[in-house]
Structure 1
Amino acid sequence: MNKNFLPIAIDISNQKILIVGGDHSAWKKLKILQRFDAKVEILAKNICEEIKQSGVTYYEKTYHKKYLNGYLMLYSCTNNEALDRQIVEDCRQAGVLVNIHDKPALCQFVSPAIYRNGNISVAVSSNGEDVYESIRLRDKIKAYLQ
């Protein structure tokens, strides 16, 4: 099934966002979200040192749907298809927007490649289909605007 994502800008400042997974892909997502002043928390059984040293709240626990309460959105960086499918179902029931890393078919939203300079943000999205092309175009726009 092809997705048709609406590109929007959403204020996530002071919003609780949960990242499930504690590896390098979770660390990269955390760094992006912190640029937008979100209250990001990490939930994973194993959490990398970069996340532990970042000052963010983290929980070294196994995922369970009981942890979803109060979050606006969730990013899953588990690389575990069965768990990701469970997370999608749980988030939909709990009213939490969900993004599954590198699996746009399971996502309710995708994150674009973003260039930000002051109050100006330029986002390039490929509808979750070609991330590297989105990044390439974002970088061309960035070079043009600098």
Structure 2
Amino acid sequence: MKKNFLPISINIADQKILIVGGGQDAFKKLKILQRFDAEVEVLALKVCDEIKNSGVKFYEVAYHKKYLKKYLMLYSCLNNDELDKQIVKDCNKAGVLVNIHDKPDLCQFVSPAIHKQGNITIAVASNGENVYESIRIRNLIKDKLQIN
């Protein structure tokens, strides 16, 4: 089934968001979410030092669906096809929005290329199909408007 994502802005301030996975992809996602005042937690068997030093709660345990109850959304940064598919099923059942890193076919939502300064946010989306083109266009807009 072809995905057709609606670009929206959602208030995630003080909302609980879970990142499953503890590597560099998870850390990059964490840095983005922290700019929007989300209450992010990380769950992974092994958590990188950057996440450990970021000030967020992290749990070095294996994923289990019992952890989903309190979250608005989940980002999986595992790069594990079998587990990612299970996470999608579990999130759908639990009513948790799910994003699987670099797998838009499995996602309920995708994140656009974002630039945020104060109350201005530039977001460019490509329906999850061309991330680098979204980033390029976001940067063109940011540069044209001279937003730092």
Q: Structure 1 length normalisation: TM-score? A: 0.99
Ranges in structure 1 where 5+ consecutive residues have no aligned partner: none
Q: 3-state SS of the aligned residue for 2:83?
A: helix
What's the RMSD between the two structures over aligned residues?
A: 0.5
> In the alignment, which residue of structure 2 is the partner of 1:107?
107
Distance 1:145 1:75 in 2: 31
Counterpart for residue 80 of structure 2? 80
The answer to whether residue 34 in structure 2 is matched with residue 34 in structure 1 is yes
- Per mean C-alpha deviation after superposition, the further-off stretch among 40-49 and 111-120 is 111-120
Partner of 2:117: 117
Secondary structure of residue in 2 paired with 1:6: coil
Q: What is the DSSP-based 3-state SS (H/G/I as helix, E as strand, rest coil) of the residue aligned with 2:70? A: coil
* Alpha-carbon separation, structure 2, partners of 1:101 and 1:121: 22
User: Which structure 2 residues correspond to residues 1-146 of structure 1 after superposition, within 5 A?
Assistant: 1-146=1-146
Deviations 1:36-95 (A, max 9, x none): 000000000011000001110000000000000110000000010000000000000000
Cα offset for 1:117? 2.1
Task: Write the distance in 2 (CA, Å) between the matches of 1:133 and 1:34.
Answer: 24
* Secondary structure at 2:122 match in 1: strand
Tell me by how many angstroms 1:115 deviates. Answer: 1.5
Q: The residue matched to 1:37 in structure 2 has which SS?
A: coil
Query: Could you tell me which amino acid in structure 2 is paired with residue 38 of structure 1?
Result: A
Q: Could you list the runs of 4 or more consecutive aligned residues of structure 1 that deviate by over 6 angstroms after TM superposition? A: none
Q: Secondary structure at the match of 2:79?
A: coil
Provide the rounded CA distance (Å) in 2 between the counterparts of 1:132 and 1:143: 16
The alignment of Structure 1 onto Structure 2 pairs a total of residues equal to 146
SS at match of 2:4: coil
TM-score when normalising by structure 2:
0.97
User: 1:69 is paired with a residue of what secondary structure?
Assistant: helix
